[in-house]
Amino acid sequence: MSPQFKIILTLILLILTLAFAEIATNSQIAIADTATTPATATAAEVFNTNCAGCHINGSNIIRRGKNLKQKALKKYGMDSIANISNLVTNGKGIMPGYKNRLSEQQIIDVSAYVLSQAETDWK
């Protein structure tokens, strides 16, 4: 394979990855904006309604390494309810914040749910 072909292939893959990330992000935001999460929803229901679109079974369809598995949570300092709650509340990068969609208690509950699921490797 020629060096030029490798560069072109790499650029095509990069463009496709960015396009997919944009589509997935916009789809997730659109779904989350129209979804209503009842105040009585369990943490699992809150997660499934608002988070599983990108983080199904603790994975990350946008950025594979930034998943919700215990090793990644520790690596990125997201191994506490407070830190996860802050991220869920305010968002970061392409992840939107949920402060206008979820109550403070729902954010705390879903953060605790993420930690408990990570401990069992999302099984």
> Where along the chain do its domains lie?
3-119
Runs of H (alpha helix) within 35-91: 43-50, 52-55, 70-75, 81-90
Kindly state the tokens that stand for 46: 């809150």
The answer to whether residue 98 scores a pLDDT higher than 70 is yes
pTM of the model: 0.70
Torsion of Cα atoms, 25 then 116 then 83 then 53, to 10°:
10
Residue with tokens 């989350």: 32
Model pLDDT, residue 24: 52
Q: What CATH code is assigned to 3-119?
A: 1.10.760.10
CB atoms within 10 A of CB 49: 19
Go through the chain and tell me how many residues it has.
123
The pLDDT tens digits of the residues spanning 38-79 come to 888 999 999 999 999 999 999 999 999 999 999 999 999 999
> Which tokens hold the place of 8?
């072109």
Token pair belonging to 19? 């396009």
Give the Å distances, CA to CA, from 37 to 19, 31, 48, 51, 112: 29, 12, 10, 12, 17
